[in-house]
Amino acid sequence: MALSEKDVQYVAKLARLEVTDQEVGKYTQQLANILDYVEQLNKLDTTNVEPLTHPLDVKNVFRPDVVKPSLTQREVLSNGPEVQSGHFKVPKIM
Amino acid sequence: MLEKTIHEVSADLKAKKVSSAELTKAAMDYLEEVEPKVQAFITITRDEALKQAAEADKRLASGKDITPLTGVPVAIKDLLCTKGIRTTCASRMLENFKPPYNATVVERLYQAGAVSVGKTNMDEFAMGSSTETSFYKKTKNPWNLNCVPGGSSGGSAASVSADQAFASLGSDTGGSIRQPAALCGIVGLKPTYGRVSRYGLIAFASSLDQIGPFSKDVEDCAIMMNTIAGHDPNDSTSANLPVPDYVAEMKKSIRGLRIGIPKEFFPEGLNREVSVAVKDAIAKLQSLGAEIVEVSLPASPYGLAAYYVLAPCEASSNLARYDGVRYGLRETGENIVEMYSKTRAAGFGSEVKRRIMLGTYALSSGYYDAYYLKALKVRRLIKNDYDKAFEKVDVIATPTAPNPAFRFGEKTGDPLSMYLEDVFTVSINITGLPGLSIPCGMSKSELPIGLQLIGKAFDEATLLRTAYAYEQATPWHKQKPSLRED
């Protein structure tokens, strides 16, 4: 599976990363090297092997639905780069 | 006084030979004196430390509720949230981030009366094996200032090695506690996944990340574990299991203990000094009464390839939260997507971008089965190997890192060569098992070498017991770095 510069541009767009042409060239080479290394996984036969997503055998963990103290609105907004009238402010979406 | 261990200095504090205020002032003065050489800290919190020391002195005077950490200066990796104290993750993205709450492990240290001297340097978002990807500075190895301290928890390791702190907290996603502990000549433990709460740890790869201690000796490691281990309702992946008294468990005999040696961890071409030191350590354990058993972990050599699919996939998802809206850097853009893309381009360094793109690619439509699903199946095979090996043995012993500390810039040009630093450590994160690194030798150029001990799930006690027996019989933990250049 050869990786092209077009793939890297597409992935950067999906990941919301602005990249320069120079970076695209560099990342294409480096990611291709890493993917080549990863190819060795195909040497292992994994037919009928269940994927393991998590080291612990935990399922959903529930707690009683009881209201407890939480952070104040002021604390939650305190790190916001742009805040107005108790809201996070963002540039236009549409 | 600063070269002492926690158990030694804690006795001095209790006996009123020294106050926490005096100890903390001396520690801060020395920390600041050697910091231009070591560069272990992103943020030094002198004022807060002196306040905590005054509180600790009240507690020591009252004689009530004193723990082995009361009044003792420690350091905290800069990806653990500290209320009101900036927590950068060594990234430009979080340069001004001041968390509104403490991580559970930080809260537990504070409740035990520990004094925090500051936040330590690391690879950006914990992605790296040399601490060179930090946006802020390059931490030096105290044994040779021309060499890296390892990573990602390089600042936490160097600060303890250089006596800037008595112990520290780090995190380990693929080896980030054990490898720097080995390269800096100290003890580092990655507990079992779920043993220590991850609440307030800035996430890299959530199914692999685990917080653990760095310390000068095994007893201090046990003391730190007694403080931070245990169930936390705020982390739904934290295990609700009893926690033993690690200090008491550690002192039991290792006679009859079965130690497995996996041949896959001693490949041809392994650094000779590392190979000799680790084999000597195994012989020493045998002479102390342990039984040495050969085991095989045939899928483990594929651990690194599986890791470099799984960790970037999880990272690409976790790091989507840095969008310039709720915290962190914000660049301006005409519309929201442009704002996201410019913010993330300016806030992340190149290693972080590389891993986000790798993960995004591996999870993208058409590639998911070939990469992510395949890696999860290999993860199962690796875990099966360990389960089988642990039917025959109690502990597995291997090298921690494939070589002693390397030089700055030696591996930064080729990401894959840096990733190979984690070859002996990653499979322990993939399986969630506990792993400990303990000093076991010194190279000809006077750089430390580490022995990795791997345990059964939630059996940190046996690891500490094995390490303690080894430490009692060897001189390595008594050696101190000289903060020299070569």
Instruction: Indicate yes or no: CB of B377 within 8 angstroms of CB of A33.
Output: no
Tokens representing A64? Answer: 């009683």
Helix (H) or strand (E) segment spanning residue B48: helix B46-62
Please give the pLDDT value at position B95: 98
A43 CA: distance to closest CA in chain B (Å):
9
Confidence at A59, pLDDT banded by 50, 70, 90:
confident
Q: Name residues whose C-beta falls within 8 Å of residue B184's C-beta, 6 or more positions apart in sequence.
A: B141, B142, B143, B149, B150, B157, B158, B160, B161, B405, B448, B481
Domain boundaries, chain B: 6-259+392-478
Closest residue to A51, CB basis, from B308, B324, B377: B377
Closest alpha carbon within chain A to B363: A11
Helix (H, G, I), strand (E, B) or coil at B225: helix
The amino acid that residue B430 corresponds to is: I
Neighbour count for residue B370 (Cβ, 10 Å): 17
Instruction: Indicate yes or no: CB of A52 within 8 angstroms of CB of B377.
Output: yes
Q: Which fold is adopted by the domain A1-45? A: Histone, subunit A (1.10.20)
Instruction: Indicate yes or no: CB of B379 within 8 angstroms of CB of A50.
Output: no
Contact call for residues B122 and B131 (beta carbons, < 8 A): yes
Please give the pLDDT value at position A1: 56
Report whether pLDDT(A60) > 90.
Answer: no
Q: Which of B77, B140, B190, B411 is catalytic?
A: B77
C-alpha B400 chain-centroid distance:
12
Instruction: Indicate yes or no: CB of A17 within 8 angstroms of CB of B357.
Output: yes
The amino acid that residue B179 corresponds to is: Q
DSSP state of A50: P
Chosen for mutation from A7, A11, A31, A57 (greatest number of chain B CBs closer than 10 Å) is A11
Report whether pLDDT(B275) > 90.
Answer: yes
Helix (H, G, I), strand (E, B) or coil at B44: strand
Contact B233/A at CB under 8 A: yes
C-alpha B459 chain-centroid distance:
18
pLDDT in tens, B161-176: 999 999 999 999 999 9
A89 CA: distance to closest CA in chain B (Å):
7
C-alpha B174 chain-centroid distance:
10
Helix (H, G, I), strand (E, B) or coil at B261: strand
**How far, in Å, CA of B326 to CA of B183, rounded?**
38
Tell me the chain A residues in contact with residue B338 when contact means C-beta distances shorter than 8 Å: 91
Tell me the chain B residues in contact with residue A91 when contact means C-beta distances shorter than 8 Å: 332-336, 338-339
Q: Which of B156, B176, B238, B427 is catalytic?
A: B176
Contact B322/A at CB under 8 A: no
Q: What is the mean pLDDT of residues B126-145?
A: 98
Tokens representing A4? Answer: 């092209």
Q: What is the mean pLDDT of residues B364-381?
A: 95
DSSP state of B421: G
B137 CA: distance to closest CA in chain A (Å):
23
Report whether pLDDT(A27) > 80.
Answer: yes
User: Which residue do the tokens 């809206």 mark?
Assistant: B325
ipTM of the prediction: 0.96
Instruction: Indicate yes or no: CB of A16 within 8 angstroms of CB of B348.
Output: no
Domain boundaries, chain A: 1-45
Share of chain B above pLDDT 90, in %: 99
Please give the pLDDT value at position B92: 98
Q: What is the mean pLDDT of residues A30-44?
A: 96
Instruction: Scan residues 284-303 of B and list those with Cβ closer than 8 Å to A.
Output: 299, 302
CB pairs under 8 A between A and B: 164
Nearest to B178 by CA among B214, B143, B208: B214
Contact B329/A at CB under 8 A: yes
Tell me the chain B residues in contact with residue A23 when contact means C-beta distances shorter than 8 Å: 350, 353
pLDDT in tens, B75-132: 999 999 999 999 999 999 999 999 999 999 999 999 999 999 999 999 999 999 999 9
Q: Name residues whose C-beta falls within 8 Å of residue B403's C-beta, 6 or more positions apart in sequence.
A: B271, B274
Please give the pLDDT value at position A57: 76
Helix (H) or strand (E) segment spanning residue B77: strand B73-77
Cα radius of gyration rounded to whole Å, chain B: 21
Instruction: Indicate yes or no: CB of B378 within 8 angstroms of CB of A46.
Output: yes
State chain B's mean pLDDT as an integer. 97
**How far, in Å, CA of B128 to CA of B421, rounded?**
9
Instruction: Indicate yes or no: CB of B360 within 8 angstroms of CB of A14.
Output: yes
Contact call for residues B395 and B466 (beta carbons, < 8 A): yes
Contact call for residues B405 and B158 (beta carbons, < 8 A): no
Report whether pLDDT(A58) > 80.
Answer: no
Please give the pLDDT value at position B91: 98
Contact B86/A at CB under 8 A: no
A85 CA: distance to closest CA in chain B (Å):
14
Contact call for residues B341 and A9 (beta carbons, < 8 A): no
Tokens representing B36? Answer: 């231009």
User: Which residue do the tokens 């001693």 mark?
Assistant: B266
Contact B325/A at CB under 8 A: yes
Instruction: Indicate yes or no: CB of B415 within 8 angstroms of CB of A93.
Output: no
Active-site residue, B77 included: yes
Tell me the chain A residues in contact with residue B356 when contact means C-beta distances shorter than 8 Å: 15, 17
B410 CA: distance to closest CA in chain A (Å):
16
Please give the pLDDT value at position A93: 87
C-alpha B348 chain-centroid distance:
22
Tokens representing B257? Answer: 């203990």
Instruction: Indicate yes or no: CB of A16 within 8 angstroms of CB of B330.
Output: no
Q: What is the mean pLDDT of residues B341-356?
A: 98
Q: Name residues whose C-beta falls within 8 Å of residue B201's C-beta, 6 or more positions apart in sequence.
A: B79, B80, B81, B103, B105, B171, B209, B211
Dihedral sign for Cα atoms in the order B339, B345, B347, B348 = positive
CATH superfamily of domain region B6-259+392-478? Amidase signature (AS) domain (3.90.1300.10)
Closest alpha carbon within chain A to B348: A17
The amino acid that residue B435 corresponds to is: G
Chosen for mutation from A4, A6, A9, A16 (greatest number of chain B CBs closer than 10 Å) is A16
Backbone torsions φ then ψ of B75, nearest 5 degrees: -120, 155
Neighbour count for residue B325 (Cβ, 10 Å): 18
Closest alpha carbon within chain A to B93: A81
Confidence at A69, pLDDT banded by 50, 70, 90:
very high
Please give the pLDDT value at position B346: 98
Closest alpha carbon within chain A to B101: A71
Instruction: Indicate yes or no: CB of A37 within 8 angstroms of CB of B381.
Output: no
**How far, in Å, CA of B449 to CA of B140, rounded?**
17
Report whether pLDDT(A63) > 90.
Answer: no
The amino acid that residue B286 corresponds to is: Q
Contact call for residues B481 and B142 (beta carbons, < 8 A): yes
CA–CA–CA angle B350, B170, B64 (5° rounding) = 150
Please give the pLDDT value at position B189: 98
